[in-house]
Amino acid sequence: MIRDAILASGLAMTYAVQLDIPGSPLGIGELLLVLWIMLSIGRVLAGGRLETRPALTLLASYWTIMALALAVGTVVGYLTTVLYPTGLMHDTMAYLLLVSVTCLAAAEPEADRHLRRTGWWVVGIANMALAIQLGQGWGWIPRADVDPWYWDRFRGWSHNPNQLALYCAIFGPLALHLATTTSNRWGRFLGIASLFLTFYVGRLTKSDTYLYTSILTCLTFLGLRISTWLKTGGNSVSFSRQAVLLLLVGILPLAIAITPYAVTEASVLENFAKGLTKDKGGEATAETAALRVHLWDEALEKGAESGSLGLGPGPHLERPSVFESQFLERPFEAHNTILDLYTQGGLIAVLALVWIVGAAIMSVWRAKLDALLALVVSIVIFGMPHLIIRHPIVWFALTICLVAGTPKAVSAISNNPG
């Protein structure tokens, strides 16, 4: 249980870069993850068991492919362009940390039980941390050296609001999964209650991506729950079931009937949608969209110039000259998980990522874990305008999906000579 709590603390705090230890290359979250890795390796060296399961095989295969793709990309990068050692070392260390955490977690005896308990710890620690950050943001708790606001956007202990928004986008569906799959009433209540704080903090970040992700994730979960409810009802007849079936049957003609009215109110709906964005669809939103398009175009060009082999870990894009007011550093990232990975490991790395995410989706789909499927949807949507694969919480979410969908171990390996 202690190791589970340490792992959860590291996962829940890796975004808290403002709490980094001065002079240390690692933050508090990363140090806790390294401590968990050392304890896990120590357990194995002391004679502890490891279990081989399909989830471990998938993760090990993925990271092997990624290592080869990034190695080839690094060679191509050295031969064709100038590499920045800082970015190269940063991403390399991040990938090594992720390999260790995911593979060791999947190889734990009774990994599904450990990951589930770790998930509860993550939700609990995350919500306590969010409450403290809100207290600092509103001036109720002394801030020390923490600046919780990025202009008018809440960032808490993170470097920028988008980092905090990503974690909120994962904490929410994770809590929903734990709440909907537990038989404990208090656990169910606390899991559902935590959604409100997480969503509130996520909206304070004023991240447009978080808003769209939350809406689509919620719709995905509701659609899956309704589908499951209809399929598992057998031949039973009830008023609620008949009402839902009638609604589903009549939704198409209903949509056609209200189309003329919807068209006349299009401007109202458009203004409402703009009002939900961080600057009501104004100049900042337009500049952000233009910047994204510019970077995505350059990422495609860089990837193509490398022969779709990539240029190795780290950012590889030049500072956009038309956005001097943004104070962007060189080199820069594409802010798109697929395209950033394309510039690093080429087409092979992209296909490997699509494969492992697809495997996670199929695992939870077969296991009928609706909230976990919604969690993967949340990750995919948030990854479109952001680079998120270096965050340990993302890989913890994918690992828990793979393990929960394939819970049975194939074999056990023991280091105990007796």
Summarize pLDDT for 82-99 with one digit per residue, the tens. Answer: 778 888 898 999 999 999
Query: In this predicted model, which residue has the larger pLDDT, 339 or 274?
Result: 339
Poorest-pLDDT segment among 27-41, 251-265, 276-290, 326-340: 251-265
Please state, rounded to an integer, the average pLDDT across all residues of the chain.
83
Summarize pLDDT for 300-314 with one digit per residue, the tens. Answer: 888 898 889 999 998
Task: Give me the pLDDT at residue 335, please.
Answer: 85
Burial grade of 245 (CB within 10 A; 0-12, 13-18, 19 or more): exposed
Summarize pLDDT for 166-176 with one digit per residue, the tens. Answer: 999 999 999 99
Query: In this predicted model, which residue has the larger pLDDT, 152 or 276?
Result: 152
Q: How far apart are CA 192 and CA 194, in angstroms?
A: 5
Task: Give me the pLDDT at residue 48, please.
Answer: 80
Question: Angle at the Cα of 372 (from 366 to 374), degrees rounded to 5?
Answer: 105
pTM summary value: 0.86
Summarize pLDDT for 189-230 with one digit per residue, the tens. Answer: 999 999 999 999 999 998 988 999 999 998 888 888 877 766
Q: How far apart are CA 113 and CA 122, in angstroms?
A: 14
412 in helix, strand or coil? strand
Task: Pick the closest to residue 313 from 103, 99, 66, 97 (CA basis).
Answer: 66
Query: In this predicted model, which residue has the larger pLDDT, 319 or 106?
Result: 106
Q: What percent of the chain lies above the pLDDT cut of 90?
A: 47
Which residues does 35 contact at the CB level (< 8 Å), separation at least 6?
Answer: 6, 10
pLDDT-derived band at 118, boundaries 50, 70, 90: very high
Cβ 148 vs Cβ 136: under 8 Å: yes
Top-confidence range, 28-32, 270-274, 332-336: 28-32
Summarize pLDDT for 375-398 with one digit per residue, the tens. Answer: 999 999 999 989 999 999 999 999
